[in-house]
Amino acid sequence: DKIMDEQQLQLSGITSAESAVQAGGILNVQKVIFGSIGRYESDYIKYLLSLRLVDVEKASVEAAESIQIRSGEEILGAVSKIVKRLSEKVELSGKITRIEASSIYTSMGQEMGVIPADLLSVFRMDLVKDDTGKIIMREETPIANLIVEKVSPEGSKCRLFDSSEKIKTGFFVRKGRVSLEEAMKGTALVVKSIPESSRVFLNSEFIGITPLELGGLEPGNYRIEIRSGGYKAYLGKISLAEGRSITLEKELEPDIEIEDLLMLGKIPRKRTDPSKAIGFALIPGQGQSYNGYSNTG
């Protein structure tokens, strides 16, 4: 099966987060970067380079960046710029690898900036899937804090500081302390999107732009919408439980061509009826803006 998976990837390439996760599993790595470069016939832009950073264990797109390139001579410089921007968005996290009596070992060490006396927070993560098995969101529950006693380049030995439930191997860890008492009282929603700066609506009420982190929400069921000009809106439902944090990550599907976004197309575009433009601009799910071109939402 593994050989068949490798052959399939060689034929199709890494074209999505799902195939990146598959490749990461075959290669036994935690993160995978994949991307694409598109060519455009325009006086202002010749290439569009896009990169995605996928967390294999969490099965999610951790970060994404795109950059416009005006000539072939600028490609190498653009690659350096986009890689630097992508690296600044990397979230450092590890896992609990072993538990022996009162000693807890993690995969976070000196290479991740961990030093003795640091505090690490522990989270249980549950992946929520749809009927097809596709991951649609992640639920995180903070359950403990650790104190680092010893470190090596690739790991650390810790002891328990406080906890709300039993710790197990495989739980995720991050730098910093989390207030377990406060975490158990409320709920939190984290929304990330590609592209960033997309608008987020909860029960038709605008709550901010991505990347977005919102706490203090009442437990219950909500309708959520993510939309951005030039992309099809995402509509979904989420259920917030007390003491849990939900992370929703969505890559919006492009709705128009790059020439439309830059208004550089050489052929006339279909114009939106002005009588409908206000509705497209203001009603959640109907678009973001009217600019005389096609509806961009």
Question: Quick one: average pLDDT of 89-97?
Answer: 86
Bond prior to 211 in cis (omega within 30° of 0): yes
Bond prior to 195 in cis (omega within 30° of 0): yes
Does pLDDT of 270 surpass 70? no
Does pLDDT of 132 surpass 80? no
Which bin fits 204, alpha (ψ -120 to 50), beta or left (φ > 0)?
A: left
Does pLDDT of 89 surpass 90? no
Structure tokens of 227?
């939309």
Distant-in-sequence, close-in-space partners of 8: CB < 8 Å, separation ≥ 6:
none
Tell me the CATH class for 92-185.
Answer: mainly beta
The strand pairing partners of 227, in sequence order, are 199
- Token pair 């890494």 is found at 14
The structural domains of the chain, with segments of one domain joined by +, span 2-87, 92-185
Provide the pLDDT for residue 145: 95
- Residue 214: how many CA atoms within 13 Å on its side-chain side? 18
| CA atoms of 239 and 227, how far apart (whole Å) | 20
Nearest to 65 by CA among 74, 78, 55: 78
| CA atoms of 115 and 110, how far apart (whole Å) | 6
Does pLDDT of 24 surpass 50? yes
Which residue has better confidence, 292 or 57?
57
Burial of 192 (0-12, 13-18, 19+ CB in 10 A): buried
The strand pairing partners of 138, in sequence order, are 127, 247
| Start-to-end CA span in the chain (Å) | 42
Q: Report the range of poorest mean pLDDT among 91-95, 231-235, 270-274.
A: 270-274
Provide the pLDDT for residue 13: 52
Per-residue pLDDT tens digits for 34-53 = 777 888 777 778 888 888 88
| Residue 281 DSSP SS3 | helix
Contact status, residue 187 vs residue 220, Cβ threshold 8 Å: no
Does pLDDT of 122 surpass 90? yes
Question: Quick one: average pLDDT of 88-104?
Answer: 89
| Residue 117 DSSP SS3 | coil
**Cα 284 from chain centre:** 22
Question: Quick one: average pLDDT of 228-242?
Answer: 84
